[in-house]
Structure 1
Amino acid sequence: MDLSMTAGVETATATGFADRSPDGGGTDTRDAVDYVDVDDRLVSTGPHGRASDSGLHHRTAATILLSEDGSQVLLYRRPLASRFYPGHHDVLVGGAPRAGETYRQAAGRRLAEQLRVRPALHEVLRLRAATPAGPCHLTVHLADLHGPLRPDPLRIPHHEVVPLVGLLTEPPEPFVPTGLVVLRRLFG
């Protein structure tokens, strides 16, 4: 798979990621996150989910896992207890970086937490997105899908590897909107 795609910035309309909290019901608010301005410059830090209260953006790091030849992609279903997009399908595995954490560090940590894997990451896209939690800067990485996945069942209750072409032409419903935006931007 060619992971040398050019990063760019565009605007999407919604996002959702495998939740981080142990109960699958939402992100853990005990960890501070960075609040940033419209240009992704650090303004302050605070609890997760509160950046928009101050008119600021939050950050999200996500990864799409592809087979080595790029023909298949990991598809998962979000927990029914998720705060955002419960029971929806998605391809973006990730979440909010902790305060001071880079997008790459957060993407790697989230893969380890949610799927118990640590693949090499390649940043391919940056988006500004309007999310249910408020405006966000999303950075998308690609990684090779190899070796056994051992998903945390509270965060990823169902997963499968599916043909990328089929997912682009007939995505299952319901699907997290930004996951489709990213797939079509990168592979459509």
Structure 2
Amino acid sequence: MVSSPVDEVVTVVDDADHVIGPESRGEVYRRRLRHRVALVLCWDQRGRLFVHQRTATKLVWPAHHDVFVGGVVAFGEDYAQAAEREAGEELGAQVATPTFLFHHRFDGEYPEWQGVFETVVSGPVRPQVEEVGWHAFLPLDEVVDRMAGWTVVPDRIDPFRRYLAERSG
């Protein structure tokens, strides 16, 4: 069992998404190492998107709003395994096996390669209190409108825009 999030061993990759090796999450953030992240758009049975505000105790981007659930890919995991694990853990609910959408390279403060997925949630959600301070399922157009006033996790903006563009195209 990992004693704290900074001790979690994650997958470090190069600029082309080739695995370099394992490193602790704390070291990845401290040294700004490129690493893998799984992001999942979670829809309810009525076609509404799960959105949330991260808790103020999160290691990076505390109290920011998010349209994805997800997190770092543990060393030895692939993107799909991480997406399924993260969606189930963060939502505390039954989710359909996430469907892969695309890979996205993020070159911001904490560089990442992202595997972007979507899934459908069945039944009520019980989000992890350590991860989620507020949550709701909202219609997509309302999410887009609200994002203009939210402080959104920076690495989520471009993949969400790409999702919207590919969805409408």
Q: Where does 1:73-152 land on structure 2 (aligned, <5 Å)?
A: 73-117=49-93, 118-132=95-109, 134-152=110-128
Deviations along 1:93-137, one digit per CA (max 9) or x if unpaired, are 1111111101111111112221122322101121111343x3110
Judge conservation of contact 2:55–2:132 (CA < 8 Å) in 1: yes
Letter in 2 for 1:136: E
Q: Which runs of 5+ in 1 are unaligned?
A: 1-20
Q: Is the helix fraction higher in 1 or 2? A: 2
Match of 1:182 among 144, 148, 159: 159
**Secondary structure of the equivalent of 1:175?**
coil
CA distance in structure 2 between the partners assigned to 1:177 and 1:96 by the alignment: 15
Q: Which runs of 4+ in 1 moved over 3 A?
A: 51-56, 67-70
Judge conservation of contact 2:57–2:130 (CA < 8 Å) in 1: no
Q: Which runs of 5+ in 2 are unaligned?
A: none
Match of 1:50 among 27, 40, 43: 27
Evaluate the alpha carbon distance shift between residue 114 and residue 52 of structure 1 in structure 2; reply closer, same or farther with a 3 A threshold.
closer
Shift of 1:60: 0.5
Shift of 1:61: 0.7
- The residue that corresponds to 1:17 in the other structure is none
- The residue that corresponds to 2:7 in the other structure is 30
TM-score, normalising length: structure 2: 0.83
Evaluate the alpha carbon distance shift between residue 56 and residue 86 of structure 1 in structure 2; reply closer, same or farther with a 3 A threshold.
closer
RMSD of aligned C-alpha atoms?
2.4
Shift of 1:55: 7.6
Judge conservation of contact 1:32–1:47 (CA < 8 Å) in 2: yes
CA distance in structure 1 between the partners assigned to 2:65 and 2:50 by the alignment: 10
CA distance in structure 1 between the partners assigned to 2:131 and 2:82 by the alignment: 16
Evaluate the alpha carbon distance shift between residue 54 and residue 81 of structure 1 in structure 2; reply closer, same or farther with a 3 A threshold.
closer
